[in-house]
Amino acid sequence: MVESLNSTSAQRRGRKIVAGTVSALLLAGGLAVAAVAGANPAQLPQLKNLRVLPDPHVVIPASAHVVAPRTASQLTTYGSSVKDLGVQYNYTMVGTNPEVKGTSNTTTVTTDIMPLNFTVQTLSLHWNSTTKDTCDSGANPLTRVENSPLFVKRSWTFGKTNVGSSQYVGAYERADFWKYTAPTGKNPGYQLNLAAKVLPTAAVSVPFADARFALIGCDNRYELAVDPTWMENYVANTLVPLAQKDGANPTTFPLFVTHNVVLGNGSGCCILGYHTAQSTTEGVQTYGISDYDNSGLFGTTRTTASLSHEVGEWVNDPYGTNQTRPWGHIGQVPGCQSNLEVGDPLSGTVLPVVSGGFTYEVQELAFFSWFYRQSPSIGLHGWYSNNGTFKKTVGTC
């Protein structure tokens, strides 16, 4: 169920970024070509060549690749290292180090949620994250995201073990480092919290030439796919500065939320989200973009599955600099990659979670020990992912 763009069409241009890769949640969907009101069907840009393709990677000039300084004006992170088969790997993660006992082991990061309202030039259609739609009989997408397990605490049990009351990614982090966060560990009170702050909605007007469409059965009746190169440049050069004007800064995490809008073009579809970082006048700014999708095109991988994927990966690799030994041929990765992207190996493996009477989906995430071949695992139950899908470490790629 993995789908991506080929590496050529996925190259990012025209901006200075500091992440080594853009992590994207990539999903296959049998998207039908649709005729859109106001456009000649014979001239409609079409989604085609839908097939599994490699995960896109960012091409970065060497001069742009910098490590974010750990100062008071930067994101709350910690740095450490681990050895795998005798090779030392340095890494930076959001929060405080769970392996080090301390009196302050709770981190709260403001998450600047910026809802997006998409239009396509020459067409009278909207894809708005703040408007209730017929795909959902209840709240609008933004409200669903705010009330989701990503931002609302609840009690979490993985494999009959209660890991405490947390938001989903915080519960995953506790399970990931259970050797240290368990009741008998060094940091039983360890917590990572995301404090949602909603920014004003941003309008995004997509050139007709950079849009593709697929028919769905609700809302305005179309899924929108935007050319990834156009969208990534627009996010970096327009939306990130706009979020900073609205109060976002390198200590916060801007999260741009789309509704039934993905990345794709004539070469392939679909990318539901990515996270990255770039140099700005304010400092090194991390951010993510993800689709709240209730179109029905992606089966059970919908609502907040993509969001949980990207937020989990941002926590574990905020600057895109955390390297591992090569791994792959699993999840959304048909080849090999060598980075600490905890969502990629389990794309499509979701957990249904009822919150406020609504069933959300969150994605299972791989553990630190899976990437660095730690045996036994320091994770919950000796597992290598938070719901136990991975029972052994990664193999050689």
Q: Burial letters for 340-375: b for 16+ Cβ neighbours within 10 Å, e otherwise?
A: bbbbbbbbbbbbebebeebebbbbbbbbbbbbbbbe
Single out the residue of 21, 85, 15, 109 nearest to residue 57, CA to CA.
Answer: 21
Share of the chain above pLDDT 70, in %: 81
Q: Render pLDDT for 87-96 as a digit per residue (tens, 0 to 9).
A: 999 999 999 9
Q: Render pLDDT for 239-273 as a digit per residue (tens, 0 to 9).
A: 999 999 999 999 999 999 999 999 988 777 788 89
Mean pLDDT of 231-235: 95
Eight-class DSSP state of 104:
-
Mean pLDDT of 317-343: 93
Mean pLDDT of 276-285: 91
Per-residue pLDDT at 97: 96
Query: Most distant CA pair in the chain: distance in Å?
Result: 66
d(CA 270, CA 311): 19
* pLDDT at 16 > cutoff 50: no
Return the domain boundaries, the chain: 23-66+93-382
DSSP H or E stretch at residue 209: none
- Coil, helix or strand at residue 36: coil
Range list of H helices, 161-304? 168-176, 178-181, 228-234, 240-245
Categorize the per-residue pLDDT at 300 as very low, low, confident or very high, splitting at 50, 70 and 90: low
Structure tokens, 230: 């156009």
326 vs 102, which has greater pLDDT? Answer: 326
pTM: 0.88
